[in-house]
Structure 1
């Protein structure tokens, strides 16, 4: 009679190879952790920058800041990098810092189950494989699962249906009638690329976004040489960009009235780029800038003003085999239907069941809303540390900066466990409650609450569980030190004596 082999065990398992997973893996390598594994469901690293590759896809934070502090890149082609270059940077960073050898590709996590007796996590993969780990670091983020709309008739559309977060690289839009649902961050990059080649583009807008000028430019060979020879020059640019984004964060989180100045800049751009007053009225937001994500583009308004682009603001009644019927009953024919409808933040756990102490799942623990202590740990889920967790997002600066702050915090937690020979750490419910009560109190004065809009930042209870209500520098201070007194700490249990 054969005995099933025990699952392979690792001290630390990291899930995901986006910016979060890569940063964590580099930190583990730097700190001398030999026994760690990174699980990646795809065949290459890159996370959201691997999966999002629609025409025009790029970053809306300047690359000197939207990059790892420990891996500056002197020769970015533009101040705002495009998706292929960001993905290549992530692949190069993984190879350069020895991360790739720790990655198991094609490993799609189906379940995490806490095993109390063994003080470890059992990790189940889609396909049936299992492994175990003392500590799990979740670097899967919230921008991974496409949010498909639920319009009547969507499954009856006979043309090509595609989501910006799951783009078909073989899709040719030349000479085709393209309908785009949504006017968020993806759509404002996609439409200016598609409009010149498509026969006609129809854009369905629910709420007009605030658009600010994108101060992009090429980074020439001379500037790249300067950064390579004098790294302090690039660090100075990074510091300047960070200071500007922190001033924006101040306005968003503490002084929303100051956003009036940037609103005037946006309105001037709208007037100068869209001559038709009726179209301008459709594109003018009626809420405070920043309440929804601020979008940066010099090409959006000119694209919408083209004669072969239609902006529909009457809503969507249903989708038919041949197109989209708006709220006024007008059918708009389409060969291709593009859903630029963002991500299902809560859908991250639709493919992964996380079960902590006493059989409680993370979905059950979050039934009244997602929350974590310092955006990283959740009561009832020992040795599970989240990166880009609840309320760690930012409406102003680089998410990579926030990730590096959390990675430092997790590294401090692991160091404490190692130095004190600790088996498990688990945030106390009292510490988690105090942190989130304070966070939500600070949230009340932010533009996301008082700005007069209904955004995806807010959950069904009207609470912002997505963004951090302060400056990025404040978050870094709050994650600088791991505090054992905020946690229940357990030592290793003695193994049973051999019989």
Structure 2
């Protein structure tokens, strides 16, 4: 067993090398903090965008708003950047801001425990290594741990199977008969790409989703030249995207009339794209617009008109050695089965055995649901911060914008703690904050819209989304309330020798 921190505890241990982890590292370096490490279980930098490499993978958020505010990118090729460009952007940022010397890849953390006597977190790794740190910033994203439903006979299928988040780069769809299970965000990007060369693509849909046009386009050479020569033009593009989303998307969440109008527009769009009447009926949701994630695509619906694409709504009964049997008894012969079934959000949140004061485990602290103060802090878990904690998802904006607000708040706390301070939050403040969150969520379509989704916990509470728009979230994260957040010297004076 080795100590990866060598001679002294770290000042900050960062989990994850995606937008949150790399962003945290950059902000620490800006503050002059160099005694930190970024650990990621993956083999490369990029987080979500390292794991999700399936054909057609791209971002729904326009590119010029899906990047750090301090590092605009004039060279985005399209309005909505594809996966390779986003991963390359994160890698460039890590290199440019000298983060890579602090990054250790292939390092999966399995446990964290708080040592109250030394005011340090101890980390255990899957390979047997250990580390210690004053502060922990958990920057793990939620969109990488596959959720794979259980089907009878799944272990008997002799063809290739994979989840979109665990894509086999050697898989060639040409001439193959392929099943795609799931019809949400990953599926609607992958299906049109697979159908280009596959002999047949069978899309197994359980629940329809509202799908809007993405209106994607390539930036011209002239536009990219302008962005390079005129930073104000890039800032204007970013501001335009921000304001449009704040106005258009937030109204869907809180205003029924806006949802009704949008639903009719999306029905018209569906009618212009899909010729098959049976398909159109099957693709029409029975819940309110915005209750589930609104999907965007320019080519998915049209791909359902192709002779080699079939929409299957009959439930799956079982897998066989050579295909899938549906409840009506029909069997479809297959060469490959692809799970586009989303991510296991709840298991992801509890994937590390985290133990705070008095040995309290995070699983026990969250036995009645995942809650945190301002999505960032937890009672009984001193000096432990989450960049994308419960109720942090701002539905109107880029996750990168949200991450930056959270990181600024976290870094201010660490800065105020000085050389030996401990940051805690009171249980009363946490309970009050979450009561307010639940009261505001009750007025949103996520609660009133008549659906269940990955936004909800098993008990039905909305645990992933913030009950406001991006400006609301920015305002919340602009201040640290001293009555709620306590920064004090350790209760026990046996201090460790961490240094900045």
Same fold (TM over 0.5): yes
Partner residue in 1 for 2:380: 380
Contact 1:254 1:470 in 2 (8 A): no
2 CA distance for matches of 1:431 and 1:54? 42
- 1:112–1:379 Cα change, 3 Å: same
Partner residue in 1 for 2:86: 86
Please state how far the C-alpha of 1:294 moved relative to its aligned partner.
Answer: 0.6
Deviates more, 1:455-464 or 1:158-167: 455-464
Please state how far the C-alpha of 1:273 moved relative to its aligned partner.
Answer: 1.2
Partner residue in 1 for 2:54: 54
Partner residue in 2 for 1:201: 201
1 CA distance for matches of 2:494 and 2:55? 57
Partner residue in 1 for 2:327: 327
Partner residue in 1 for 2:179: 179
2 CA distance for matches of 1:355 and 1:47? 24
Matching of residue 494 in structure 1 with residue 493 in structure 2: yes
Q: Secondary structure of 2:324's match?
A: strand
2 CA distance for matches of 1:257 and 1:410? 38
1 CA distance for matches of 2:155 and 2:219? 45
Q: Deviations over 1:140-181 (max 9, x none)?
A: 121121111111221221110100010000001110100000
2 CA distance for matches of 1:319 and 1:350? 30
2 CA distance for matches of 1:228 and 1:489? 43
Partner residue in 1 for 2:159: 159
Partner residue in 1 for 2:498: none
Partner residue in 2 for 1:267: 267
Contact 2:253 2:290 in 1 (8 A): no
Partner residue in 2 for 1:287: 287
1 CA distance for matches of 2:334 and 2:309? 13
Deviates more, 1:443-452 or 1:392-401: 392-401
Q: Secondary structure of 2:64's match?
A: coil
Matching of residue 132 in structure 1 with residue 128 in structure 2: no
Contact 1:273 1:302 in 2 (8 A): yes
Q: Deviations over 1:20-75 (max 9, x none)?
A: 11111110011111211111222221001011000000000001111110100001
Contact 2:274 2:302 in 1 (8 A): yes
Alignment of 1:435-450 (within 5 A): 435-450=433-448
Contact 1:289 1:451 in 2 (8 A): yes
Q: Among residues 437, 452, 455, which one is paired with 1:454 in the alignment?
A: 452
Please state how far the C-alpha of 1:131 moved relative to its aligned partner.
Answer: 0.8
Partner residue in 1 for 2:109: 109
Q: Among residues 405, 418, 431, which one is paired with 1:433 in the alignment?
A: 431
Please state how far the C-alpha of 1:396 moved relative to its aligned partner.
Answer: 2.9
Please state how far the C-alpha of 1:228 moved relative to its aligned partner.
Answer: 1.3
Please state how far the C-alpha of 1:260 moved relative to its aligned partner.
Answer: 2.4
- 1:365–1:7 Cα change, 3 Å: farther
Contact 2:114 2:356 in 1 (8 A): yes
Please state how far the C-alpha of 1:257 moved relative to its aligned partner.
Answer: 2.8
Partner residue in 2 for 1:402: 402
- 1:35–1:454 Cα change, 3 Å: same
Q: Deviations over 1:355-381 (max 9, x none)?
A: 111111111111111111101011111
Please state how far the C-alpha of 1:6 moved relative to its aligned partner.
Answer: 7.8
With the length of structure 2 as denominator, give the TM-score of the two structures. 0.95
Contact 1:409 1:482 in 2 (8 A): yes
Structure 2: runs of 5 or more not aligned? 496-500
2 CA distance for matches of 1:205 and 1:445? 29
- 1:9–1:296 Cα change, 3 Å: same
2 CA distance for matches of 1:453 and 1:495? 52
Please state how far the C-alpha of 1:262 moved relative to its aligned partner.
Answer: 2.5
2 CA distance for matches of 1:414 and 1:249? 34
Please state how far the C-alpha of 1:106 moved relative to its aligned partner.
Answer: 1.8
Please state how far the C-alpha of 1:349 moved relative to its aligned partner.
Answer: 4.8
- 1:282–1:216 Cα change, 3 Å: same
Contact 2:117 2:493 in 1 (8 A): no
1 CA distance for matches of 2:276 and 2:128? 59
Please state how far the C-alpha of 1:258 moved relative to its aligned partner.
Answer: 0.8
Contact 1:422 1:489 in 2 (8 A): no
Partner residue in 2 for 1:370: 370
Please state how far the C-alpha of 1:426 moved relative to its aligned partner.
Answer: 1.2
2 CA distance for matches of 1:152 and 1:257? 44
Alignment of 1:345-356 (within 5 A): 345-349=345-349, 351-356=351-356
Q: Deviations over 1:338-396 (max 9, x none)?
A: 00001111222554211111111111111111111101011111100001111111333
Contact 2:181 2:338 in 1 (8 A): yes
- 1:495–1:452 Cα change, 3 Å: closer
Please state how far the C-alpha of 1:447 moved relative to its aligned partner.
Answer: 0.9
Q: Secondary structure of 2:44's match?
A: coil
Deviates more, 1:242-251 or 1:110-119: 242-251
Contact 2:108 2:125 in 1 (8 A): yes
2 CA distance for matches of 1:275 and 1:431? 55
With the length of structure 1 as denominator, give the TM-score of the two structures. 0.96
Please state how far the C-alpha of 1:322 moved relative to its aligned partner.
Answer: 1.3
Deviates more, 1:116-125 or 1:482-491: 482-491
Structure 1: runs of 5 or more not aligned? none
Deviates more, 1:373-382 or 1:318-327: 318-327
Please state how far the C-alpha of 1:250 moved relative to its aligned partner.
Answer: 2.1
Alignment of 1:457-476 (within 5 A): 457-476=455-474
